[in-house]
Amino acid sequence: MDFILYEQKNGYAIVTINREKALNALNSQVLEELDATLDALDFSAVRCLIVTGAGQKSFVAGADIGEMSTLTKAEGEAFGKKGNAVFRKLESLPIPVIAAVNGFALGGGCELSLSCDIRLASENARFGQPETGLGITPGFGGTQRLARAIGVGKAKEMLYACTQVKAEEAKAIGLVNAVYPIDELLPAAEKLAAKIAANAPIAVRNTKKAVNDGLQVDIDSAIAIEAKLFGDCFESADQKEGMAAFLERREHAPFENK
């Protein structure tokens, strides 16, 4: 792959968008490589994923403006669908995804971070949706996920006025969970990933599904989704070991994803 770095660690993996010369902007090839990387994940070994950008300046500075500049209406729609399909795949992975936002997260970069479960940011991170200033709408889910993440009013300001948000404000409005000096960002993301990876994978997977699916439906349907996923856990060996360990006042054995 030319533009994606993949590193597998003990229980989690790090995907780095590696197109630093263009501030990690997403062209078609980057999207295709990211898609293939997600398809190749081995969930028996990878229980949490970190997504970050190469270098210390930019997470992802958006979709590639040069590539988009000459698109026709049909090509524009196809490009939007392509990006959305990859981001939806990322959002729907059966493992949590942490965005380690190491600088600019603009346009498609902000949208990429919004497709992750949790966002951590470096002090120099900057979020924004500059699309209306370029004559387009956000195209990789920004009109939908930003409002769901931070509320409609602030999202609409960011979308209509292209107002950018620095790291501390992003934390204040709930767009990121925590802010770190740039050198501490990845270690913090890895620490969190390792903590998630140590918990029972089936339980984590079902919890993610319950939150994500439940947010799309009314509360009665959402609770029914939760009940089903809660019940499913009782078929797992990890549930038996987790609860037995508690009752026997001992550490549980490492969870086995079964």
Q: Dihedrals φ, ψ of 59, to 5°?
A: -75, -75
Angstrom distance (rounded) from CA 164 to CA 66: 22
Angstrom distance (rounded) from CA 182 to CA 5: 19
Q: How far is the CB of 67 from ligand CAA (least distance, A)?
A: 7
Q: Is the dihedral of CA 61, 63, 66, 67 positive or negative?
A: positive
Q: How far is the CB of 126 from ligand CAA (least distance, A)?
A: 8
For 139-164, b/e burial (b = at least 16 CB within 10 A) is: bbbbbebbbebbeeebbeebbeebeb
Instruction: Enumerate binding residues for ligand CAA (CB under 6 A).
Output: 22-23, 25, 61-66, 83, 104, 106-108, 111, 130-131, 134, 138-140, 142
Is residue 131 annotated as part of the catalytic site, yes or no? yes
Residues in the chain: 258
Angstrom distance (rounded) from CA 251 to CA 67: 54
Q: How far is the CB of 216 from ligand CAA (least distance, A)?
A: 22
Angstrom distance (rounded) from CA 248 to CA 130: 56
Q: How far is the CB of 30 from ligand CAA (least distance, A)?
A: 11
Q: How far is the CB of 87 from ligand CAA (least distance, A)?
A: 10
Residue 127: DSSP 8-state? E
Tokens read off for 63: 């979709």
Angstrom distance (rounded) from CA 62 to CA 216: 27
Note whether 185 and 102 are within 8 A (CB): yes
Candidates 33, 75, 123, 131; catalytic one: 131
Is residue 111 annotated as part of the catalytic site, yes or no? yes
What positions carry a catalytic annotation? Answer: 111, 131
